[in-house]
Amino acid sequence: MYNDIVERNNVKVFGEGQKTILFAHGFGCDQSVWRDVAPAFSTDYRVVLFDYVGSGNSDKSRYSTERYDSLNGYAQDVIDVCDALELENIVFVGHSVSSMIGALASIERPGIIEKLIMIGPSPHYLNEPGYVGGFDKSDVDALLDMMEINYREWAKYLAPVVMGEDSDSTITKNFENTLCSNDPVISRKFAEVTFTSDSRDILGEITSPTLILQTQFDAIAPVAVGEYLHTKITTSEFVLMEATGHNPHLSYPEETVTCIKAYLTK
């Protein structure tokens, strides 16, 4: 099982610590997004990076719409990686949709995840009466349609929105390239699963101590979403960063590292 999962999910392990910290990327990304964050933990932790099946350098032949038609399939990837490496009581750092994927894994398999760290999390991206998710259904439908019609133009449009930076900035261009490196068909399905997911009903089941890292201006997961999560996860701590945009681990890696370390050393 070890070699099978390591190859399937392109698992990378480094670091010298006894305790393990696992970094999980968000939609449209791969493990490379942690390049300026993960190494900062290699002295004190065993660091694990991986790609969800269908993303990055994972074995895309192992992707199936049946398994990955909900976030549960991605949560199973997390569980599989932990089982293959014989991990338990880890620190799970999830960006965006991976925050809820990690929460699902922690509920499904108690004992695997000791602490949850959520960066720009959202349990539900759609606006509903009494709930601000950030998107109307028509917005999501238009986004998915654009992905089908012209994937590259979609990536060019989305990158500056996500990064909260000018479209010509280096980090925006780099993120656009990351989006474009994905398989368009798989990426669109992952987008649909992500933006139509609703994990609000599981929030009360989260028992792992949880850090919610929220940026000042996030077009994907507004501050109201982070505050909502904080009220629903009784074990959570909420930190409003000075950073802006949805990817602070790319645009503000130093502050991201500082916030995570401050929480872990308490």
Own/partner pairs, 67-71, CB within 8 angstroms, 24+ separation:
68/189, 68/190, 68/193, 69/189, 69/193, 70/193, 70/197, 71/97, 71/100, 71/101, 71/104, 71/193, 71/194, 71/197, 71/199
Give Rg (Cα) of the chain: 17
Among candidate residues 218, 236, 249, 251, the one labeled active-site is 218
Among candidate residues 25, 124, 246, 249, the one labeled active-site is 246
Amino acid code (one letter) for 233: I
> 218 catalytic, yes or no?
yes
Among candidate residues 55, 96, 187, 197, the one labeled active-site is 96
> 124 catalytic, yes or no?
no
Farthest-apart Cα atoms in the chain, separation: 49
β-pairing, 90-95 vs 19-24, is parallel
Structural tokens at position 38: 């993960």
> 249 catalytic, yes or no?
no
Would you name the residues annotated as active-site residues?
Answer: 96, 218, 246
